[in-house]
Amino acid sequence: MSKSFITASMLYNLTSCEHRLYLDTFGDLSARAKPNAFIQLLWEKGSLFEKEVIAALKTPFLDLSFFHGDEKEARTREAMEQGTPLIYSGRLSVNNLLGEPDLLRKEGTGYIAGDIKSGSGEEGDSDSGKLKKSYAVQVALYTDILERLNISSVRWGFIWDIHGKEVRYDFSQPQSTRTPQTWWELYQSFYQRARDILAQDHHTKAAYSSGICKLCHWYQPCLLDLQRHYDLTLLPELGRTKRDALNDHFSTIQEFAAADISTLVLGKKTRIPGMGPGTLHKLHARAQLVSAGDQGHAYLREDVRLPIQDSEIFFDIEVDPLRDHTYLHGFIERQHQDNSTEQFVAFFADSPTADAEQEAFAQSMTYLGQHPDSKVYYYSKYERTMYRKLQAKYPDVCSAEDIEALFNPERAIDLYFDVVLKATEWPTRDYSIKTLAKYLGFIWRDTHPSGAASIEWFHRWVESGDLEIKQRILDYNEDDCRATRVLLDGIRRLPLRMSIA
């Protein structure tokens, strides 16, 4: 494919990282990692879902999936000229745009385009009403091609999603009440950025983002590059936008750490666009900690209340987002702060069915109900979000009030939001439970532990019924629960150092 074409997948990647578009186009492709098992699973699931949707279609359609390149495009154009009502897997190009929409549908005098996605068509829950940026830019690109070819009927497209819903992407609408920019304007800004990157008029730089980079095929080369340049994004909570703003003053973590930042503070503001004095001081202290090397140790920025309780429960769930299925609720119990009393309790949904999911959820709620005096610890809001979802899905198991009572801070503590982010500093590049527990010396038994890997194992367990795979999932979850305990104990030992700000 010519390097000058802008495609939907380029814009999709651009929504998460602009440097990826640069590297995918101009980088040394031999340095890219091979897709890992989880990424392959996503591809397989996506293509399987698309095939299932197409196979179940009741309306007649023209299938062009067997054709490629110019022939596919010629047949797409021919079918549109003939007014074919629905075209599957077409291809269109005009000027520097190239698109392969899953569906082209005759609507009035023209066509609209859409994609089939094996995820929700909206952010978060279905019916949230919030469109996905990454989907919007793709479908907008198809719509732009149709407009430029004078065969578009309206400025909207659609997603057929995992819930069997057609989600309309109306590009004339503002993104939200807070963001008046329309979806079309957003698309145009991404299109322009892609053009500039391909023309090498816009210089891109890697920017570390734990959640995005660890799933990217450029992770290793980018990390080396970032480390070589002591890039500011290697500081937790300091992403591309803040880094680019700070780069006007400091190029590296060390420069930032050594600087007298008082000259940048102007009362309640700073000279750094979009950054208040509190954030600037916090990031500066973080730069000093990280650049101290072996001398830099984690500490408490403020005192935290972590009451000692006779019985503690460390809690972690495993969810398969591809099936929207919670398959494991794991708990480590500990009595009187004595690690030798630790016991792992798990409730596993053996099959990917609603019945199995409901049963595991009910067992978990019963178990928690049997331990009313135990303090519950978990890491991030995810557990609470998923328990609210499970309660709405299975209202017979418990009430919404039961879930709120469970996650009341008197009963349960989110170590990530309520403790790590609010009150601690670590000489690490992110605050994931893996990173912090490893910093404290904890070692997972699995050589490649990750939530993504666990999802892939669960798929293999469902397909094979292999008990070794199930045990691997359980061990991984147990270690995650234990890591939460290690983190709690580690935080309790941290020295208190008051902030300078």
Between helices 183-198 and 18-26, what is the axis angle to 10°? 40
In the complex, least distance from residue 84 CB atom to ligand SF4, rounded to whole angstroms: 39
CA distances 79 to 82, 90, 147, 148, Å, are: 5, 9, 17, 18
CA distances 30 to 24, 34, 222, 462, Å, are: 11, 10, 14, 34
Nearest to 160 by CA among 134, 188, 135: 135
Whether 143 and 113 have beta carbons less than 8 Å apart is answered as yes
Q: Which is nearer to ligand SF4, 20 or 482 (CB)?
A: 20
Q: Which is nearer to ligand SF4, 23 or 283 (CB)?
A: 23
In the complex, least distance from residue 3 CB atom to ligand SF4, rounded to whole angstroms: 17
Q: Which is nearer to ligand SF4, 18 or 480 (CB)?
A: 18
Q: Which is nearer to ligand SF4, 211 or 409 (CB)?
A: 211
Contacts of 175 (CB under 8 A, 6+ apart): 131, 181, 182, 183, 186
Tokens for 267?
């009362």
Q: Which is nearer to ligand SF4, 17 or 290 (CB)?
A: 17
Q: Which is nearer to ligand SF4, 231 or 320 (CB)?
A: 231
Whether 330 and 344 have beta carbons less than 8 Å apart is answered as yes
In the complex, least distance from residue 305 CB atom to ligand SF4, rounded to whole angstroms: 37
In the complex, least distance from residue 128 CB atom to ligand SF4, rounded to whole angstroms: 25
Contacts of 170 (CB under 8 A, 6+ apart): 155, 156, 183
Q: Which is nearer to ligand SF4, 18 or 312 (CB)?
A: 18
In the complex, least distance from residue 10 CB atom to ligand SF4, rounded to whole angstroms: 13
In the complex, least distance from residue 430 CB atom to ligand SF4, rounded to whole angstroms: 12
Whether 311 and 374 have beta carbons less than 8 Å apart is answered as yes
In the complex, least distance from residue 308 CB atom to ligand SF4, rounded to whole angstroms: 41
Kindly list the residues in this chain that would bind ligand SF4 in the complex (CB under 6 A).
Answer: 17, 19-20, 23, 206-207, 212-213, 216, 218-219, 222
Whether 480 and 330 have beta carbons less than 8 Å apart is answered as yes
